[in-house]
């Protein structure tokens, strides 16, 4: 098992690749109980529009790939705090833990009122707190803020 920072750096790499491929600069991965990265995804705006979020892509793949007990031991790692849709996807997929780098509030300062990403003001803690099952959340990681923001430079 590596540190959260290690996996967040992977998610940041994916966010850069995602942007290069014509999508929004977000990246996510799923880490299993052994510390292996078993699923990765960038944003897929170019094909899926507003619901092509990286975390939801990972959660959907995870839910069909892994049994429930393994999902509970997995961690979804994402460069930016998940929106309510992706926090919901993490919850409904049955993933046990979530790690994020940058807060949704900070993201909103970057995206402004860009119609392609009308960032909400609904922290993932609020979404998870409404559930019947606990999801362990770790983040933000301010030491990675500049690296995460670099992927968004002059994008929105
Ligand atoms: Zn989302």
Q: Cβ(116)–Cβ(22) under 8 Å?
A: no
What is the whole-number distance in angstroms between the Cα of residue 121 and the centre of ligand 1? 12
What is the whole-number distance in angstroms between the Cα of residue 120 and the centre of ligand 1? 10
What is the whole-number distance in angstroms between the Cα of residue 104 and the centre of ligand 1? 10
What is the whole-number distance in angstroms between the Cα of residue 67 and the centre of ligand 1? 23
What is the whole-number distance in angstroms between the Cα of residue 65 and the centre of ligand 1? 20
What is the whole-number distance in angstroms between the Cα of residue 26 and the centre of ligand 1? 9
Q: Cβ(97)–Cβ(74) under 8 Å?
A: yes
Tokens of 82: 């998940």
Q: Which of 38, 31, 10 is nearest to 75 (CA)?
A: 31
Q: Which of 156, 68, 71, 61 is nearest to 106 (CA)?
A: 156
pLDDT tens for each residue of the chain, 156 residues long? 899 999 999 999 999 999 999 999 999 999 999 999 999 999 999 999 999 999 999 999 999 999 999 999 999 999 999 999 999 999 999 999 999 999 999 999 999 999 999 999 999 999 999 999 999 999 999 999 999 999 999 999
The whole-model pTM stands at: 0.97
- Which residues, listed in sequence order, are joined to residue 80 by a DSSP beta bridge? 102
């Amino acid at each position: 098992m590596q540190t959260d920072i290690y996996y967040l750096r992977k998610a940041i790499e994916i966010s850069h690749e995602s942007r290069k491929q014509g999508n929004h600069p977000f990246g996510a991965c799923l880490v299993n109980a052994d510390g292996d990265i078993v699923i990765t995804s960038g944003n897929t705006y170019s094909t899926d529009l507003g619901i092509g979020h990286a975390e939801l892509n990972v959660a959907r793949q995870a839910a069909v790939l892994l049994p429930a007990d393994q999902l509970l031991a997995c961690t979804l790692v994402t460069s930016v705090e998940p929106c309510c849709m992706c926090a919901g996807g993490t919850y409904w997929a049955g993933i046990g833990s979530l790690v994020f780098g940058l807060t949704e509030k900070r993201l909103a300062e970057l995206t402004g009122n860009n119609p392609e990403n009308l960032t909400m003001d609904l922290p993932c803690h609020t979404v998870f707190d409404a559930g019947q099952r606990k999801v362990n959340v770790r983040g933000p990681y301010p030491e990675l803020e500049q690296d995460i923001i670099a992927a968004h430079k002059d994008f929105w």
